[in-house]
């Protein structure tokens, strides 16, 4: 199924899938899981939030309030149906 999708869409879906599967993923965790460069992941996260209305939170490390260290959490699936998405794209 993924072979019929544009590269941009494949990347977005891979990032969404990583967010749904990884436990408290950092930017580097998502980049490593998806084989997408970290800078591209950051840009795609913004696009995913805007296009699909997903609520993706960045939770900073409480011990380092001034730090950029933290993890991402998929808080709301927006316009996507979670079960259907995972059924069709759960093995990207």
Taking residues 58-81, report their average pLDDT. 87
Q: Encoding tokens for residue 44?
A: 């795609």
CATH of the domain at 22: 1.10.10.10
DSSP secondary structure letter of residue 91: T
Looking at the structure of the chain, the number of domains it has is 1
> What are the pLDDT digits (tens) for 25-51?
999 999 999 999 999 999 999 999 999
Q: What is the pLDDT of residue 61?
A: 79
CB atoms within 10 A of CB 83: 10
CA-based end-to-end distance of the chain: 9
Q: Are 40 and 8 in contact (CB under 8 A)?
A: no
Name the residue range of residue 19's domain: 2-89
Sign of CA dihedral 9, 31, 1, 23: negative
User: Which residue would you say has higher pLDDT here, 3 or 48?
Assistant: 48
Work out the angle at residue 3's Cα, subtended by the Cα atoms of residues 48 and 92, and round it to the nearest 5 degrees.
60
- Is the pTM for the entire model greater than 0.75? yes
């Amino acid at each position: 199924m993924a072979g019929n999708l544009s590269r941009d869409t494949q990347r977005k879906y891979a990032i969404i899938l990583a967010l749904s599967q990884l436990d408290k993923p950092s930017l580097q965790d998502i980049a490593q899981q998806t084989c997408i460069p970290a800078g591209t992941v950051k840009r795609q996260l913004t696009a995913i939030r805007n296009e699909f209305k997903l609520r993706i939170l960045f939770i900073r490390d409480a011990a380092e309030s001034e730090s950029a260290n933290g993890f991402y959490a998929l808080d709301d699936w927006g316009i996507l149906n979670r079960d259907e998405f995972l059924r069709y794209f759960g093995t990207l």
